[in-house]
Each structure stands twice: as structure tokens, then as C-alpha cells.
Structure 1
Amino acid sequence: MNQRTFRTAAATGCALLVAAVGPACTGTAHAASPVGLATARVADAVRFPWLVGPVVVAHRGASRAAPENTLAAVDAAERQGFKWVENDVQQTRDGKLVVVHDGTLTRTTNVKRVFPQRAPWRVRDFTAAEIARLDAGSWFGKGFARERVPTLREFLRRMDEHDLRLLLEIKNPQLYPGIEARIVKELSAAGWLDRQHVRRRLVVQSFGANSVRTVHGLVPEVRTGFLGNPPLNALPSYARYVDQINPQLSKVDARYVAAVHRLRGAHGHRLDVFAWDVPLQNHLGIASTYGFDGVIV
């Protein structure tokens, strides 16, 4: 099948699924309503055979089919055919690493009910044991009531069980001095700094340039990415310690991507561009138009 035929088939395949899968295919909403729950169940049973070409990364796991950043979202990503998963890592009050996106626990857990006097319910104000008590799935659907906020170690173990590849985001690094070293230590303890993982299964990224630079200094062999779209004249300085520039789709155009591609990154290869906020149903066409090497959907 040539590339044009393949793209047509891919687009047609997703178009046929839109009616059956709804938000799970279009990316327009999470499944919080009864209709959404039914949609999520359909989506969880669907494999996406067109996940080839550019790297396609499941944002916070398969977060249209299961609660984001949970082990269930990792399982769903594997069932749907994803090879890459993105997650968010933050730190608890007692220095443990947990996988959660928001700075507070209110949106995706029942923390207000369990700890009503602990406003504003920030991740960094709770111990790992306290966070482990929270329900991190019911907000998405009753069938996920047993899901918990996973530790990074638990998340890595589940990723290994499915032979998945990880785009790890250090979230809010300015709030957690030294988090980079703790993440590196955890990756090492879990076996994620061996040759196989480093070469083909791990990228560490952040919106914090200093955080990415720190990771590169601690483990120069690990690929790294900067989340954002630095000015063109600043790109050479980023290229000294990153392998990817990962912008929001709406913030760049094909000329910007081409300018990034003209530079070599920290490991001597052409800088890659992984864009986020890319809709799954036409990711191939968008990647081709812009020249993206990967998309986070």
C-alpha cells in the first residue's frame, strides 16, 4: 500500500469509527456522562491499526477510554495498539514520585471528600500514603472506582509488562527542587536506564528548560524534549541538551518545524518535533502537512 492509499484508508477508518466511538475518536470530550461511558467501552475495544508513520503517543495513556494517568489508561493504550504513552510525574510531601497531571488532586480524585480540611488539595501537600487512599477513577466512570493514583514505580512496571515506550513529563519542576535526580534514581531502580530502554523506549520532557538541562546533565544518554516553541534564534541553545522540540499544534507552522529540523540535537541527530493537541482522527494528514515526527493525541 503506498502512502497516499494508506492515509486515505486511515482517514476512512477513523471516519467510520466516529459514529460508533464519538469522543473517543474525535478527542472532543472525556467520557464522564452515561453516553460517554458507553463510548469509552467501545473505544477500549477498538484497536487503531493506522498508528504508524509518525510516532503516535497516547496522551496521559488512552485517556479517552480510561481515567488519565492511571494503570487502566496504560492497559487501554496497549489494547488500542499504541506503542508510546505520555505521563506526568510530580512529587509528594514525603518525596515520593506519583503520576498525576494537575497541581491539585481535586479534578481527578475524591480528595475533597477524604480530606475535607486540606484545601487547596495540592499534590505536594500530601504524602504518598495519603494519595494512595484516593479514588482516581470514579470521576471518569463507576467502572473505574478502584483506580488509584499510581506511583512512578507502579507505572513503569505496567509499561514494561506491555512493552510500551514512555514519554515522561516532569510536571511543575519548579515546585520540586531535586525532582530530576529522584526521577533518574527511580528509572534506574526500575531498569529503565539500560541500553534497550534508553535507545528505544524512553524520552524525558518538560516545559522547564532548566529541568530538561538537568536531566541531560545527570544522564546524557537519555533522550530529552522541551515542551514549547522557543524563538527561532534560541533553538541552537536548546539543541545542546535536547533531542526534541515538542510544541502545541496551534503555536507552530511548517516553516517553524523545518527550522527545527535543520538543527542537530544533543545526540548528534536531527532535532525531532512531537506536537501535542493533535486530533487522532486526522493525525497522519496533520503530521504530513507540518512535517511532525510524532504527535501526542
Structure 2
Amino acid sequence: MSLNKALVGALAVLCLGFVACEDDTKDYNEYNYYEDIELGELSAEAKQVRDYVMDDAIIAHRGSTFWAPEETEAAFRWARNMGADYLELDLQRTEDGFLLALHDGNLRRTSNIESVFPGSEDLPVSAFTLAELRELDAGSWFNEDEPENARSSFENQKICTLEEVLMIAQGYRIKRDSDGNPVKLNDGADWKGLYEMELDPLDNGNRPGIYAETKEPYLFGGMEDDLAEFLTEQGWNINSPGTLLEAPSGDEGKVAYTNGRFILQSFSRESIVKLETALPGIPKCMLLWLSESSGYVRPSNTLESLAEFINFSVEYNCHIAGPSIAGSPNYYDDLTEPWMNEMYHRAGMIVHAYSFDTEDQLRKYNGDYYYGGVSRFDDPDREVVGDYSYDVNENMFIDGGFTNLTDLSLEYYGRGANKTAQEVLDELGY
């Protein structure tokens, strides 16, 4: 029997108004042999680290890919003020050693590199210094790609450094001159590409953590050690209590000042092994992607390969599973089916799935259709609707998620400041 088939009644999207399609229902017990496969389990110490992570975390994927140019100051400030629990970013490194927030392997999609550095469009970030990268406009492309969300203030947004994202999480912004241009730090002939930061007068007090993805080690050798050293210097490495930032008065208990302030994530097994050495005792997420490429963690969609993935994750203290979800607009493979979630949870992991862009996805993977469409955020005591020959339980569902629409997740979770995404952008001066 193929494990790739959906559990049609229990797992499929509801037909109408979260009413089960009884004629198509298959017995979940047909799939129960997944319960018999041997799995490792996180140690008691690893579970303590897992519990640093807040429940029902809303993770702002690249800040936002929908409301602002991804992984720019505009996206991260918006996600902070919108109310995200974590700012998610992709780590890369410049030729001169600065850690950056940038997703793609080159700059063609998200900058004007073709006009600034013609002939260099396909070079990796590591081929450029930070000062060179600051010459690029990392915002105007968004206005062309997302005209319904375009704003003139997104023009000439800059690629962000990791340091800037940490500062944004702490309530800062890039300082700008009267013309709106970033103020250079130590301006001169040997300017290194750094900008001055200042307290953000438009900050609303939310203090999100950081959820950072390392890329394949062959692209950035030594990235993990560099990151550990950098986090220690910046006061974000909980392994270094002597340098750890203390919460200012009023910020006690906010995510950026807890032991869960920084979460590591990677698709790369090699990077996970190195992170466990360089940054032990920090929450780690092993990301899943269905691919035949050996560069990804799960080469095929079988029960055995999923169990092998989980056992690797347990061995290297990955506290979180990061599987893809199905549905519009990305149409990823579904690696967050209920039986899969039960396997992740049986190993002691929590589940942060990616990426939530619709209410239907939020309802599906939080299990609402088992409960007559009622969300646990609306009714913590909701009851199962329908007869099932298997136990419907919380281990079948997610514990948090990455989203490009923090505003949508906040509304579904019953949290936030009851402001629209556009209102928050307006308040921030965009």
C-alpha cells in the first residue's frame, strides 16, 4: 500500500464547511503499522532545550514575501510590529565575512544587480563585499512583482546584515538622513558597508526571536563557527552567559530575551552536525523537503526514510521537525500528514511546518476539520465531531508554523493588535 496516498476522510481538505466526505473515508487503522517502526527519542536534556521554544510560535518567513520585499528592513520591521514571535531568515556570508539575510543563491531575482554589476548576475553572494552589496536596490523588484502591494518607500531597500536583524528585533532601525538614505557608519574611502542604527521611535514593543537557516556547508565553509562567535559577541548565544544580553525593564519574558531567542534550522545534515558542535544547547530545526537530491534530508517518501530522518534528528539533538505542507500557493509535498506528525512527536520533537499562506491551511494542519471546523484557539475544550476508529489527539497536528502572512496567522490564533498589515506598514512610514 502506498504511504503517499492521503487519508481521504481524515486528512483531505473538507468538502464543504468542514463536513467529512463519508463515502471516501478510509480507516486510519490501515496506516497504523507506522506505529510499530522503531524510533529514537530526544534525551531529557534535549527536551529541556526543546521547551525553550514557545507554544504556537508564529514565524515570519523572510519577514514577509507578500507585504514587503523579503529579508529587508521593511519586511522585518513590519513582522516585528505586526506581532510575529520569530523573524525567519536565510544566512549567507559576504566575501569579507559579514553574515547576511538573503535567500537565493544569487542576486538576480531580488535586486538590480544586472544594471549595477552587469555580467555578475549569477555570482554567489560570497563573491561580493558588503559595501558592494549595499550599492544594490533590494526593493524595487518587489513593486514590479507585487504591484497590488507596491509602495514607493520600498525602492532602494537594502540587503540586511544579521546584526541589523538582531537590532530590529530589539527595537532598533537603520538611521536615515533627511533624504531617507541610510547613514553610513565610519563613512570614508574604506567604508565597510555598515550603517548606523538607532532606537526606532515607531517600535511597538514586540521583541521577537530569530529563526535562522544555514545553507549548505560547501557554499560557506565555517559558517557555523562564525555564527557561534558572532552570536556570542552580540549577546545572543545562551551558551555564553557572560555576554548574554539582559532584558531591559519591561522586556522581561519576551522572546528575544528568553533561552529560545535564537533557533537554528537547516536542510543540510552536514550543517546540523556542525551546529551541534558549535552551538550546543540551542533549539534546532531539521527541515524536510521531498527530493531525490542527496543534498536534502529525505531522499524518498517512504516510512523507512522518514524514520531514518527522525532518528538522525534525535541523534544530533534536533528539537523541531520542519516539514512542508500542501496547498495553494506553493503546492509543496505534504510532509505534515497526521501519521507523520505522530511520528515526529513520538520522538519528542515539536512540529513547525512551512509555509502558511491561507486560512484553509491553518485550519487543516491544526486539525479543525476533526472538530466540526472549530479552532482550538476559539475553544480550547472543543470536542471531536464524528466517529473514528483511531484516537484523534493533539500529536496529529502542528505546534507552530512559518508564514508569509503574519497578520493572517495572528488573526487565526486570536492574537495581535487588531491592525491590518497595511495599517502597520503605514504606521512605520512605508
Question: TM-score normalized by structure 2?
Answer: 0.53
| Partner residue in 1 for 2:311 | 236
Q: Please list, as runs of the form range in 1=range in 2, the aligned pairs for 1:1-297 lying within 5 A after superposition.
A: 54-141=56-143, 142-161=152-171, 162-194=206-238, 197=257, 199-228=259-288, 230=298, 231-234=305-308, 235-241=310-316, 242-249=318-325, 250-252=333-335, 253-263=337-347, 270-289=348-367, 290-297=396-403
Q: What is the CA-CA distance between 1:212 and the residue it aligns to?
A: 1.4
Larger Rg: 2
Higher relative contact order (CA 8 A, sep 6+): 2
Cα offsets for 1:224-244 (capped at 9, x unmatched): 111116423311222122111
Partner Cα distance (1:220, 1:112) in 2: 41
- Aligned positions, number: 241
The percentage of counterpart residues that share the same residue type is 30
Q: What is the CA-CA distance between 1:79 and the residue it aligns to?
A: 2.6
Cα offsets for 1:3-56 (capped at 9, x unmatched): xxxxxxxx9xxxxxxxxxxxxxxxxxxxxxxxxxxxxxxxxxxxxxxxx97222
Partner Cα distance (2:275, 2:215) in 1: 13
Q: What is the CA-CA distance between 1:197 and the residue it aligns to?
A: 4.7
More divergent stretch after superposition (158-167 vs 108-117): 158-167
Q: What is the CA-CA distance between 1:149 and the residue it aligns to?
A: 0.4
Q: What is the CA-CA distance between 1:81 and the residue it aligns to?
A: 2.0
The AA in structure 2 aligned to 1:288 is N
Contact 1:54 1:287 in 2 (8 A): no
Gaps of 5+ in 1: 1-10, 12-51, 264-269
Question: TM-score normalized by structure 1?
Answer: 0.75
The AA in structure 2 aligned to 1:176 is F
Partner Cα distance (1:224, 1:198) in 2: 15
Q: Which runs of 4+ in 1 moved over 3 A?
A: 194-198
SS of structure 2 residue aligned to 1:94? coil
Change in Cα spacing, 1:186 to 1:286, as seen in structure 2 (3 Å) is farther
> Alignment RMSD, CA only?
2.1
Cα offsets for 1:114-156 (capped at 9, x unmatched): 1113242321211111111111111113321131001111111
Partner Cα distance (2:260, 2:81) in 1: 20
The AA in structure 2 aligned to 1:144 is F
Change in Cα spacing, 1:70 to 1:127, as seen in structure 2 (3 Å) is same
Partner Cα distance (2:122, 2:153) in 1: 27
SS of structure 1 residue aligned to 2:366? helix
Cα offsets for 1:167-193 (capped at 9, x unmatched): 111123321110111111111111111
Cα offsets for 1:161-220 (capped at 9, x unmatched): 241111111123321110111111111111111367562221100110110121111121
Contact 1:228 1:247 in 2 (8 A): yes
Larger helix share, 1 or 2: 1
Partner Cα distance (1:150, 1:203) in 2: 18
Partner Cα distance (2:232, 2:81) in 1: 27
Partner Cα distance (1:216, 1:197) in 2: 22
